[in-house]
Amino acid sequence: MPTPYLHKNTSVSLLRYPFVFCPKRRRKVLTGNVALRLKALLEEKTAELGWDIVTLDIMPDHVHLFLGTHPDVSPTQVMHALKGSTSRVLRQEFQGLQTMPSLWTRFSWVSTAGNVSAEVIERYIAGQKTRD
C-alpha cells in the first residue's frame, strides 16, 4: 500500500496545507466553463510541480485547495505558482475576465493541518457546497 509520505535521501515528510484564495473583489466568476478550466489548470500545474491535490473545491467566489507539497516549497511559492499560471491562461481564454484589473486578489489564507486533522479539513471543504 502506498504511503502519503514523501521519501527523499535524507528526509521523510508529509506537508499538507489548506489554501483559500479569491477572485478580485470576490466576484462570482468561477462558474461553468471557467470553473472547469480552472480545475484542469490547477491539476496540470500541481502535477507538473510534483504536488498532490488532496481536495479541491471551486466555489463561485473562492477556491478551497488542500495540497501536499515538498518541504523545500513555501506556501507563498505555491500561491505564486498557481495564481500566476491560472490567471494568465484564464484571462486569455475567457473574454469576460479581461475586464477585471486582475483575476486574483493578493490575499490568500493558508494554515497547516497540524492542529486540525486532515479529515476535519476535508469534511469542512466538502461541506462548503451545502452552504448558501
Q: What domains, with CATH codes, occur in the chain?
A: 6-130 (3.30.70.1290)
pLDDT at 64: 97
Structural element, H or E, at residue 49:
helix 32-49
Single pTM value for the model: 0.83
* Number of neighbours of residue 115 by Cβ within 10 angstroms: 7
Distance, C-alpha 83 to centroid of its chain: 9
Tens of pLDDT, residue by residue over 93-126, are 999 999 999 999 999 999 886 656 778 778 888 8
Helix (H) or strand (E) holding 12: strand 12-13
